[in-house]
Amino acid sequence: MQLTHEEQNVLNGEEGPGKQKAMEILVALGKIYNATRLFPIKSVQVAGVSYNNLGDAGLEFLQQWANQNAKASVPAMLNPAGMDLKNWQNQGITKQFAEKQQDVIHAYTQMGIKPDCTCTPYLIGMQPEYGQHVAWSESSAVTYINSIIGARTNREGGPSALASAIIGKTPYYGLHLQENRQPDMLVKIKTDLKNSVEFSALGYHLGKNYPEKIPYITGIKHATQSKLKALSASIVTYGGPPLFHIENITAEAKKKTVKKPEKQNMIDEKDIKKAIQEINDSGPIDLIFLGCPHCSLEELEKIALLLKNKKVHKETWIATARKTMERAKHKGIIKPIETSGAKVVCDTCVAVTPLKGRFHGLATNSAKACYYSRGTNALHCMIGSTEKCIKIATEENNEC
């Protein structure tokens, strides 16, 4: 990989060990992927925030790096943490865990990363523009900004994203290159996808059956942000690459900078129903979770309407970015949710908070939440619409 004179100096340690470590990571990554050079980026989103996943080894690694005076040189935010950073008691988190989690956040803030912990930075002021190069980590966010906005990022790991934040550059390979953003297959949807669950199911079907293939999807006339978030989260979770195109909807398809492939695969109602069946497994439900990816203001508004004048009878968490929650609070959206007994949890989600042994069955509207709750927290999972999840939460003696 060709380095500039300045980059070589950083690699030689002339600007201190913190920057040197960051450059070493980027150069190693560039060599693995045959990148020819480093390329400037506009923003970073860093994964590897939950103490539940990092443990003491990860925390010490971050603290050491922070103590080497490494500082972010471009705007950077964080992925969800292992708890609501302010109301962690509300989630049943132990003091010991909370202290360790705060230490992780402290190490990141010491490095100049904003302690906004969310998988939807694009909803709280860090929205890249079309064609802009960034280095983001969280898979749903990476897929959303690549596909819907037409920004350019690979799916970074935690250390490589942090290294990019410090250097302000990323190796130039993969989805940064126009030729790698071309679709590999044409997919015609022969059914009307009604809600986010069906978009989630489409992502599951595509990811599972066509891993590594970038789809060019036709047959979708309209899709709300909520549905596109759901598709972005599930396709990449179940094996697909972090990029898809939808005719007349996603940025590069609209601008016609990608070419529609010829060979066509069909997806019909049967495929979507089968996907939903496969995502589900049965068993009693004791946790309802909405907000994967983190709820937008519109999604919170819908949930508030559904919960108005009702009481939940099961533990119910609605996850969102803290800034989205603050905006919603200002508009009076949070009160009806909390009055129902449901909890609005910020900064975190079911995939990264310690739930193992505390809950057994999850109801959610997200295929991605099912995947990680099963894997990380050993929950069995039911996927259903937002309306269905709220019904389960508010019905007494529900036998799900």
Distance CA 176, CA 38 (A): 11
**Structure-token pair, residue 398:** 């529900």
Query: Strand pairing partners for 218?
Result: 188
Binding-site member from 18, 58, 80, 150 for ligand F3S (CB under 6 A): 80
Residues with Cβ within 8 Å of 82's Cβ and at least 6 positions away in sequence, in order, are 49, 50, 51, 52, 53, 93, 97, 101, 348, 352, 353, 354
**Using the rule CB under 6 A, is 349 a contact of ligand F3S?**
yes
Minimum separation from the CB atom of position 400 to ligand F3S (A) = 21
Q: Which stretch binds ligand F3S (CB under 6 A): 70-78, 101-109, 204-212, 288-296?
A: 288-296
* CB closer to ligand F3S, 271 vs 347: 347
As a dihedral over the C-alpha atoms of residue 336, residue 339, residue 340, residue 343, rounded to 10 degrees, the angle is 90
* CB closer to ligand F3S, 139 vs 394: 139
* CB closer to ligand F3S, 183 vs 293: 293
Q: Which stretch binds ligand F3S (CB under 6 A): 28-36, 56-64, 201-209, 289-297?
A: 289-297
**What is the sign of the dihedral through the CA atoms of 339, 124, 243 and 188?**
positive
Distance CA 247, CA 235 (A): 17
**Using the rule CB under 6 A, is 368 a contact of ligand F3S?**
yes
Q: Which stretch binds ligand F3S (CB under 6 A): 57-65, 253-261, 291-299, 310-318?
A: 291-299
With contacts defined by CB under 6 A, how many residues of the chain interact with ligand F3S? 14
Residues with Cβ within 8 Å of 134's Cβ and at least 6 positions away in sequence, in order, are 41, 42, 43, 44, 45, 128, 145, 151, 152, 153
Q: Starting from the edge strand earliest in sequence, which strands make up the sheet with 343-346, in order?
A: 343-346, 315-320, 287-295, 361-364, 380-383
**Using the rule CB under 6 A, is 227 a contact of ligand F3S?**
no
The secondary structure of 345-366 as a DSSP string is EESB-TTTS--BTTB-EEEES-
**Structure-token pair, residue 6:** 């300045």
**Using the rule CB under 6 A, is 351 a contact of ligand F3S?**
yes
Distance CA 364, CA 224 (A): 19
Q: Which stretch binds ligand F3S (CB under 6 A): 255-263, 292-300, 306-314, 392-400?
A: 292-300
Q: Which stretch binds ligand F3S (CB under 6 A): 18-26, 145-153, 164-172, 366-374?
A: 366-374
Residues with Cβ within 8 Å of 248's Cβ and at least 6 positions away in sequence, in order, are 254
Binding-site member from 26, 72, 93, 119 for ligand F3S (CB under 6 A): 119
Minimum separation from the CB atom of position 133 to ligand F3S (A) = 22
* CB closer to ligand F3S, 304 vs 351: 351
The stretches of the chain forming alpha helices (DSSP H) are: 5-11, 17-32, 51-67, 95-110, 139-144, 158-167, 196-209, 225-237, 251-255, 269-279, 297-307, 322-330, 334-339, 367-377, 386-394
**Using the rule CB under 6 A, is 379 a contact of ligand F3S?**
no
140-159 positions binding ligand F3S, by CB under 6 A: 140
**Structure-token pair, residue 196:** 């986010």
Asked if residue 21 lies in contact with residue 68, where contact means CB atoms within 8 angstroms, the answer is yes
**Using the rule CB under 6 A, is 174 a contact of ligand F3S?**
no
* CB closer to ligand F3S, 80 vs 261: 80
* CB closer to ligand F3S, 44 vs 253: 44
**Using the rule CB under 6 A, is 233 a contact of ligand F3S?**
yes
Phi, psi (rounded to 5 degrees) for 193 = -85, 115
* CB closer to ligand F3S, 81 vs 304: 81
* CB closer to ligand F3S, 24 vs 298: 298
**Using the rule CB under 6 A, is 292 a contact of ligand F3S?**
yes
Q: Which stretch binds ligand F3S (CB under 6 A): 143-151, 307-315, 365-373, 374-382?
A: 365-373
Binding-site member from 38, 369, 370, 383 for ligand F3S (CB under 6 A): 369
- Interface residues with ligand F3S (CB under 6 A) are 80, 119, 138, 140, 233, 292-294, 319, 349, 351, 368-369, 372
